[in-house]
Amino acid sequence: MADPSAIALNSVAVSYSGRTLFRDVSLQLAPGSFHFLTGPSGAGKTSLMKLCYGELSPSEGRITVFDQDTSQMDRNAIARLRRRIGVVHQDCRFIDHLSVAENVLLPVTVSQGNVEAARADMADLMSWVGLNALTNHRPPELSGGERQRAALARAVILSPDIILADEPTGNVDWEMSLKILGLLIELNRLGKTVLCATHDMSLIRQAKTRVSARVLRLGNGTVELAGAEL
């Protein structure tokens, strides 16, 4: 029996207030794969990301994550599912009065996980993202690149199987973009499924020299894979 897809969309459509962002989208993300999601502003990249972690329900079609139909899952089941999915939001969404370390620990706290064990691993995690000297700082004190790396640390603290990164390099310079890309590639080499939304084609070209990545293009109401319609 073939392994289930990490994420599968089958004939999915998303509409808002009578406007259809996309329709009849079918795609599969295999476990351990690396995909980029591109497309113009307003095409629905963030909406497609939200579909993948149960934040948004499709207007039509079916979505399965780890072979589970998200439409058949209640709130508690969705919460359990999200422990296996790390999300790097475009706006980072930090709590400014908490330290960087406390923000990174939030997924463990909210899921009632082992906070003490997570604290014990914090130094290694923060060193991995290059922020070990900033763990006690507050988010407003961080640069854009530092905030994005802190967001990535928070996304992976529960050791998820899937990483969804929504424009993680959108507000940083090229050098920092390459550092963030390197972290995503490292996660993929550890077996994580990675979906990264970006408008930066230079970053995609750079990635394709280092990792086997496919490109999903969202536009004109549909999705194309590597130039061919899915």
pLDDT 10s digits, 183-206: 999 999 999 999 999 989 999 999
- Looking at residue 1, its pLDDT comes to 37
pLDDT 10s digits, 81-109: 999 999 999 888 899 999 999 999 999 99
CA 151, distance to chain mean position in Å, is 10
Token code pair at residue 181: 């890309």
CATH number of the 1-84+164-230 domain: 3.40.50.300
Higher pLDDT, 226 or 27: 27
What's the chain's average pLDDT? 91
Q: Which is nearest to 165 in space by CA: 141, 195, 199, 190?
A: 195
Model confidence at 228, in pLDDT bands (50, 70, 90)?
Answer: very low
Residue 210: phi and psi, rounded to 5, are -125, -20
Which long-range contacts (C-beta less than 8 Å, at least 24 apart) are formed by 122-128? 125/153, 125/156, 125/157, 126/100, 126/101, 126/153, 128/153, 128/183
- Percent of the chain at pLDDT > 70 equals 96
Q: Which is nearest to 151 in space by CA: 106, 84, 97, 213?
A: 106
Residue 66 has pLDDT above 90, yes or no: yes
230 contacts 224 by C-beta, under 8 angstroms: yes
Residue 33 has pLDDT above 90, yes or no: yes
Residue 55 has pLDDT above 70, yes or no: yes
Every domain of the chain with CATH number 3.40.50.300 lies at 1-84+164-230
Q: What b/e readout covers 112-141, taking b as 16+ CB neighbours within 10 angstroms? A: eeeeeebeeebeebbebbebeebbeebbee
- Looking at residue 190, its pLDDT comes to 95
- Looking at residue 90, its pLDDT comes to 84
Model confidence at 226, in pLDDT bands (50, 70, 90)?
Answer: low
pLDDT 10s digits, 122-173: 999 999 999 999 999 999 999 999 999 999 999 999 999 999 999 999 888 9
61 contacts 25 by C-beta, under 8 angstroms: yes
